[in-house]
Structure 1
Amino acid sequence: MKLRKFAVIAAMGLCAAGSAWAKDYQAGQVEIDDLWVRASAPGQSNGAGYMEIDNKATAADRLLSVSSSAAERVELHTVETKDGVAKMRQVEGGIALPAGGEVKLAPGGYHVMFLKLKAPFAEGASVPATLKFEKAGEVAVQFKVKPAAHNPGMSHDHSSMKH
């Protein structure tokens, strides 16, 4: 009986520890998770960064800007599709974070654009940056450099499909 009680307490402790480690970074009541960029291809001068942002506050906030010593310039971008053509556009005024909501910066949508990289993004390394929020303030973060072919959301294999 004591062993079972110990196992339950240990399991509860692991669950609590897991939820305590769920967020990577925090600024005020804004939590930032899963920050990543792809490794640079040879000759590539720009890179895109992605993340998930949860605004736990009861008031809306806004990601105003991102800065990084890894690039000459960093901008917030989105992808807009018009007449079947997708184009990248800089986001004016930042990215809105609804109260109690989340925003995902992901391929094909909002992203951080690192322009004129000072050095290629090397797989396994990290890229330092500072996120600036309208209300939550600033927070220093690290983007993890994933393999160049990293493509979240594409978990199934299409290699056997006939075209």
Structure 2
Amino acid sequence: MKKFALILAATLLAQPVLAKGVQATNAYARAVVSGVQQSGAFVTLKNTDATPNVLIGASVKPNIATRTELHTHVNDNGVMRMVEVKDGIPLPANQVVELKPGSYHIMFFDLKTTFSAGKKFPLTLKFKDGSSTTVNVTVKEMQAMQHNHAGHAAGAHQH
């Protein structure tokens, strides 16, 4: 019985604190051709809490990608460039923030698997209040998104 109690306690302690008041929906990632080592993911975040929060990070299992970063686009003397978001993505109280092409998004680097249409994988989102949530991401064909995401196609990533 002691062994069971210890296993149960260890399991409960290992569980992430679920995000209080943050709902994650419509999570998808860009499909890429074999050999491309990066992709982006997008998700709609709704902060239903009366307290602001901040998305401070995201992660996937090591068999998906080596590195995951929060990014946005900035206008650098007339040239749109992607940059890492170091301070997180603000989630104002009672508002929706859409991570979408050409705006805030999540980048995966050094892909360990091909992001082909229909593939699904878990993505863990981490928040400033110490909570986290995991959302299932579905990979979608890039052509369906291309008209909204010019300049972010394979090989266009610049810092």
Q: Where does residue 160 of structure 1 map in the other structure?
A: none
Task: Give the corresponding residue for 2:131.
Answer: 137
Higher RCO (CA-CA < 8 Å; seq separation 6+):
2
Matched, 1:105 2:99: yes
Q: CA RMSD in A?
A: 1.7
Amino acid at match of 1:29: G
Q: Deviations over 1:78-102 (max 9, x none)?
A: 0001221011100012111001111
Q: Structure 1 residue 38: deviation in Å?
A: 1.4
Tell me by how many angstroms 1:153 deviates: 7.6
Identity over the aligned pairs, expressed in percent? Answer: 33
What whole-Å deviation, never above 9, does each CA across 1:49-90 have from its counterpart, x for those lacking one? 001101011110000100101110000000001221011100
The structural deviation recorded for 1:152 is 8.0
Is contact 1:30–1:136 with CA below 8 Å preserved after alignment? no
Pick closer, same or farther for the CA change 1:105–1:152 going to 2, 3 Å: farther
SS at match of 1:150: helix
Which residue pairs with 1:120 in the alignment? Answer: 114
What runs of 5+ residues in structure 1 fail to find an aligned partner?
1-25, 155-163
- Give the structure-2-normalised TM-score: 0.76
- Which residue matches 2:47? 55
Length, aligned pairs only: 129
Alignment of 1:1-163 (within 5 A): 27-69=19-61, 70-135=64-129, 137-151=131-145
